[in-house]
């Protein structure tokens, strides 16, 4: 019997995984722990990568924006930093990541304290803003000194679907750069997400908005392949 248990708290999940491994093999029962935000962040970065592989393109000067630093936002920052480090970020240039959150300053301090190597890989820029009512004046981080969009990718990771869409539309209005993808984390690919897919399919005005249905991507029959023992085996 395989039992899969979702642990929403990222830190608690890691602690329990250590206990899970120590339990060893039991003949009649197999416990697997997972976290949809951790799995979702990995899948999201695979589907919407902010930078290419080494040798495919120049990966210098990459700037990401993450709106909402909750469980999903934290996992996204950590996995993006790890991918950047693996692609050569350890050689000096840091990945620039703008964190937009009501408590962005506190979140930055927490991330740097929890992940001591974070600042070697990333330049974390906190922008404190009330979400989803992001003031357009707070969006100056999107532009460099030449008034050209400097951002390569925007990830909106708010827990509420309508708030996420509202924030994404506000940012899109300020960017006015259709080449900059804006990925919106939603619970499912249904509901509001269907409206955006319709626009995308018809090459409508919102074609650079992309929906990532978290539970549709993570709570699937092949979930077991992303649990502890399978990951360690790979």
Q: What is the per-residue pLDDT across 101-158, written as a single tens digit (0 to 9) for each?
A: 999 999 999 999 999 989 999 999 998 887 766 554 555 656 555 445 578 899 999 9
Q: Residue 143 in contact with residue 105, Cβ under 8 Å?
A: no
Average pLDDT over residues 77-98: 85
Provide the 10 A C-beta neighbour count for residue 59: 19
| Region at 61 (left for phi over 0; alpha for psi -120 to 50; beta for the rest) | left
Check whether 199 has a pLDDT greater than 60.
no
Q: Residue 129 in contact with residue 100, Cβ under 8 Å?
A: yes
Residue keyed to tokens 């206990």? 19
Average pLDDT over residues 169-187: 84
């Amino acid at each position: 019997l395989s039992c899969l248990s979702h642990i929403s708290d990222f830190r608690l999940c890691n602690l329990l995984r250590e206990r899970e491994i120590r339990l060893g093999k039991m003949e009649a029962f197999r416990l697997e722990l997972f976290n949809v935000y951790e799995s979702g962040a990995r899948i999201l970065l695979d589907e919407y990568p902010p930078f290419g592989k080494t040798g495919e393109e120049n990966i210098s000067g990459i700037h990401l924006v993450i709106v909402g630093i909750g469980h999903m936002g934290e996992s996204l920052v950590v996995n993006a930093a790890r991918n950047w480090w693996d692609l050569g970020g350890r050689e000096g240039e840091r990945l620039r990541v703008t964190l937009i959150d009501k408590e962005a300053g506190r979140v930055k301090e927490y991330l740097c304290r929890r992940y001591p190597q974070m600042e070697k890989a990333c330049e974390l820029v906190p922008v404190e803003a009330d979400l989803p009512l992001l003031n357009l004046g707070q969006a100056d981080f999107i532009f460099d000194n030449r008034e050209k969009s400097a951002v390569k990718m925007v990830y909106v990771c708010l827990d509420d679907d309508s708030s996420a869409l509202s924030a994404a539309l506000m940012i899109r209005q300020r960017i006015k750069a259709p080449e900059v993808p804006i990925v919106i984390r939603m619970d499912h690919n249904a509901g509001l997400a269907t409206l955006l897919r319709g626009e995308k399919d018809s090459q409508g005005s919102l074609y650079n908005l992309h929906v990532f249905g978290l539970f549709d991507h993570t709570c699937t029959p092949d979930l077991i392949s992303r649990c502890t023992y399978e990951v360690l085996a790979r």
